[in-house]
Amino acid sequence: MSKTILITGSTSGIGLGIAKAFAEKGYNVAFNGLEPNGAEIAQQVADQYKIAHTFSPANLMQPDAIRTMVANAIKTFGTIDVLVNNAGIQFVAPIDEFPDEKWDAIIAVNLSAAFHVTKAVWPAMKAQKFGRIINIASAHGLRASEFKSAYVAAKHGIVGFTKTMGLEGAPYGITCNAICPGYVDTPLVEQQIPAQAKAHNMTEKEVIEKVFLERHAVKEFIPIELLAQTALFLASDDAKTITGIAMPVDAGWTAQ
């Protein structure tokens, strides 16, 4: 029987790349995301790889919607074997201009949602004595940058959550690990270029070279496919004794 993966924020960017890689391996995929054409995007992946799928437009700021999404996926597929807490948002501003509602939204989506989804999935993983939880954190879970107070706080938080779930999952065959990417060319990064340019008083080209890739020893964006392959490895039996880690995939950023 095919295994099932639930990926939050899987109708764009990194989450979509992870969905395609697992679909290629024959996983059933439970998609989620706020893209208006999310159902269509999920259907296209399912058609391409001939897999079973569900799509939920649940807003991860709402714990009730999260619980419904997880219950529906379990009802459809019987269980969830792999959970990827991937959905995330960003906002860039100096602390004295940082809107309170942006702080609350970033903590809700990038940190609290992972708690609520994990809590909802946990009983099914515990019952079957197998589970793989992969949190898409960030190099910003290990390092700070100015003007990203909420994002850096949330990503450091999810690294701590990962370690705790690694310990709690160990007796039940559940592993929990975080992947900490450097900069990846996705809509999330594209959207912050104008605000970064304003905050740093730079052109948009200078932001790419001096703010983003300046941190990378390897002067390239991280390919989405590399992150998807990392997730596949962490979900495999070979990775059964790897748990509670925050794995940088960051072109040498955190080596500095």
**Interface with ligand NAD (CB under 6 A):** 9, 11-15, 32-35, 59-61, 86-89, 109-110, 136, 138, 181, 183-184, 186-189
Looking at the Cβ atoms of 130 and 251, the one nearer to ligand NAD is 251
The nearer residue to ligand NAD, 15 or 169, going by C-beta atoms, is 15
Q: Catalytic annotation on 151? A: yes
Q: Which is nearer to ligand NAD, 181 or 244 (CB)?
A: 181
Q: Is 175:194 a contact under the CB 8 Å cutoff?
A: no
Question: Could you tell me the smallest distance in angstroms from the CB atom of residue 256 to ligand NAD?
Answer: 16
DSSP assignments along the chain, one per residue: ---EEEETT-SSHHHHHHHHHHHHTT-EEEEE---TTHHHHHHHHHHHHT--EEEE---TT-HHHHHHHHHHHHHHHS--SEEEE---------GGG--HHHHHHHHIIIIIHHHHHHHHHHHHHHHHT-EEEEEE--GGGTS--TT-HHHHHHHHHHHHHHHHHHHHHGGGTEEEEEEEE----SHHHHHHHHHHHHHHT--HHHIIIIIIGGG-SS-SPPPHHHHHHHHHHHHSGGGTT--S-EEEESTTGGG-
Nearer Cβ to ligand NAD, position 130 or 148? 148
The CB-of-138 to ligand NAD minimum distance in angstroms stands at: 4
Residue by residue, DSSP assigns 175-196 as EEEEEEE----SHHHHHHHHHH
Shortest gap between Cβ of 236 and ligand NAD (angstroms)? Answer: 21
CB of 208 to ligand NAD, least distance (A): 12
Q: Which of 27, 151, 172, 183 is catalytic?
A: 151
- What is the residue type of 120? A
Nearer to ligand NAD, 78 or 99 (CB): 99
Shortest Å distance, C-beta 21 to ligand NAD: 14
Active site members: 151
